[in-house]
A and B are shown apart, each in its own frame.
Chain A
Amino acid sequence: MKRTFFYCLTLTLCAPLVACTSGADSPAPSPSGPVAETSAVIALNADKALYAAEAAYNAPAHAYVTADAKGLLSASVKAQVKPLLVDAYNGVVVARCAHSFVKLAAGVVQGVLPSGDLDKCPATARSQAALDNAKAEVEGLSAQASSLLPKPK
């Protein structure tokens, strides 16, 4: 488990990375060498964006649930924050969809949603741009939610 997080494709086992691009509109992969390496970097960037979206949601969502369990949230605050968090979670779901499609387009099958879940993904959530937009939306909504929640003592 240690030595974790180094990314790769089975096709590029132990191959040095020599190229770096981003975005789903990169040149189409060919069977060998630098193209597969480019795919690995695309997958890394997609993972990075999804991590950011998941983390942005997690902080206020956990703060909300914890405060609510302790009875620290007024009805007014709950009425303001809950819709923001619901929208933020929906953004996370879109980010997960886009993340999966970006990785599939790059030829990476690990870490993608099950095919049944992929079928439910909107057609607009299938690119790096969609992933970046969803991430930005989640971050914005989460920041709003955080600003309304009581600060931890």
Chain B
Amino acid sequence: MDKAKLFDMLDKAGDFIEALAPLAIAIGGPTVGKVIDVVEAVDDVVENITALAKEGKAVLQSNDVDAIDAALSRIRHANDALNAAIQAS
């Protein structure tokens, strides 16, 4: 996969997560399909970054660390809320 394609995937994953945030807030947790889409998109990205790294092609950029942390944090908070609801059920 070339870098342009990878950037396109990154953009799509970012769009998914941004679209998901208000929905998660509104209903207390992301819809199942959307979250799986997001995670699979991120998973694909990680796979491809790893592949590029093996080929010595990837260039790392420091300002993206916060973004991946934010995505993990959103899923973490959604799951914390779901766990609270399950415990209370």
A residues at B contact (CB < 8 Å): 1-10, 12-20, 37, 40-41, 44-45, 47-48, 50-52, 54-55, 57-59, 61-65, 68, 78, 82, 85-86, 89, 92, 96, 110-111
Contact = CB atoms under 8 A, between A and B. Distances in A.
Interface of A is mostly: helix
Contacts, number: 168
Interface of B is mostly: helix
Number of contact residues on B: which range applies?
Answer: 35 or more
Nearest to B65: A110
Interface of B: 7, 10-11, 13-14, 18, 28-32, 35-36, 39, 42-43, 45-47, 49-50, 52-54, 56-62, 64-69, 71-72, 75-76, 78-79, 82-83, 85-87, 89
A50 B72 contact: yes
Contacts of A12: 60
A25 to B, nearest CB: 18
